[in-house]
Amino acid sequence: MPILTLTTDIGQRDYLVGAIKGQLLSHFPGLSIVDITHYLSQTNFPQAAYTCNNAFRYYPPNTIHLIIVNLFESPVKHLLLAKYNEQFIICPDNGILTMITGQKPKQIVAIPFTGQQTLLEMTQLVAEKVAVLEHNRDLSAIGPVLDQIEEKYPLRATLGPDWMEGQILFIDNFENVVINITLKEFTEHRKGRKFKIVFKRNEIIDVISTNYTSVTETEKLAWFNSAGYLEISLRNGNIAGLFGLQGFNEQMQQAGSTTENKWFYQTVRIFFE
C-alpha cells in the first residue's frame, strides 16, 4: 500500500490537516496517510530536521514525505520534490530539505505555483502530483529540474582539544533535552578520558546512564537516546523547565537569549580530562 507521511507546523485545532488529507485521498484513494507531527516550530529548523530525519529512516522505499513548515515566510513560487535514500520528500524551498538530508539531493524538481495561492490551493496541486508520482517515478514528469535551492545545514557540535559544545536540538513532551552530539562524536572526541557534562553554568553530570532507571528519583542523568543523540533528563521531573533550558530559535538568537528578564540556556558543554 502506498504511504505518505504528513509533517506540519499547522497544529490540529482547526480543519486544515483534515482538509489536506481529504485532498490527497480524493486524488489517490488507496493512499495510506501517516501523521508524524503537526506541532513543528516555524523558527526551529534543527528541531524539525531532528524529528523528520529520525522518523523517515524507518519507512520503506518509495514512501512520500510531505512537510509543511514556515511555508509563507516569503512568497511561494514552488515546492520542492526530491528523491533521497529511495524515498521522496516534498517541502518548501526554505532550507528545510538540506537540514533533513545533510546534503543537497541529486534529484530535485519544482512543483510550481502561479501567483499568490492559499495553503489549500497549494496542497490541492500537491495532491495531484502525488497521484502522478505514484504511477510515474520519473521526477521530470512532475516539474522542472532545479539546480539552485535554499540550503541550510544541521548545527554541528563545536570542538576544542579538551571540550565539545552542543546546541539543544529538541525538548520532548516530558521536557527531556536532546543535544546535537551523537554517541559516535562523543566517543571519538572523548578518547577514553573522564568527562563532565556542564549546563546552566555549574550543573554537572559525569556518568552516561543506560536508561531512566539508572538513577534515583529526581536525579539528573545523561544517556544516548534511540536516535543516537545525547539526552539529559531528570527522572520523574522536567529538566528543561527547572533549569531554564530552551531549544535553538532563530528569532531569539537574533534578539538575544533573554526574555522578560529570564535567561535561557541553549548550549551544553562537555569537558574532558
Is the predicted pLDDT of residue 239 greater than 90, yes or no? no
**The residue to which cell 514528469 is assigned:** 141
**pLDDT of 125:** 94
Is the predicted pLDDT of residue 221 greater than 60, yes or no? yes
CATH topology of domain 158-272: Elongation Factor Tu (Ef-tu); domain 3 (2.40.30)
Q: Name the pairing type of β-strands 107-112 and 78-84.
A: antiparallel
- Name the pTM for this structure: 0.87
**186 neighbors 238 (Cβ within 8 angstroms):** no
Distance between CA 112 and CA 79 in Å, rounded? 7
3-class SS of residue 74: coil
- Contacts with 99 (C-beta within 8 Å, 6 or more apart), sequence order: 45, 46, 48, 49, 152, 153, 154
- Contacts with 234 (C-beta within 8 Å, 6 or more apart), sequence order: 218, 219, 220, 221, 242
- Identify the band that residue 263 occupies on the pLDDT scale cut at 50, 70 and 90: very low
Angle 125-85-109 (CA atoms, 0-180°, nearest 5)?
A: 35
HEC-encoded secondary structure of 133-194: HHHCCCHHHCCCECCCCCCCCCCCCEEECCEEEEEEEEECCCCCEEEEEEHHHHHHHHCCCC
pLDDT (tens digit, 9 = 90+) per residue, 60-94? 999 999 999 999 988 889 999 999 999 999 999 99
Q: Kindly state the percentage of the chain with pLDDT values over 90.
A: 67
Radius of gyration from C-alpha coordinates of the chain: 21
Quick one: CATH architecture of 3-141?
A: 3-Layer(aba) Sandwich (3.40)
> What average pLDDT does the structure give for the chain?
89
**pLDDT of 248:** 58
- Identify the band that residue 247 occupies on the pLDDT scale cut at 50, 70 and 90: low
For the chain, what are the domain ranges?
3-141, 158-272
3-class SS of residue 28: coil
pLDDT (tens digit, 9 = 90+) per residue, 109-118? 999 988 778 9
Is the predicted pLDDT of residue 262 greater than 60, yes or no? no
Angle 92-101-60 (CA atoms, 0-180°, nearest 5)?
A: 95
Handedness of CA 136, 141, 146, 149 (dihedral sign): negative
Residue 84, amino acid = Y
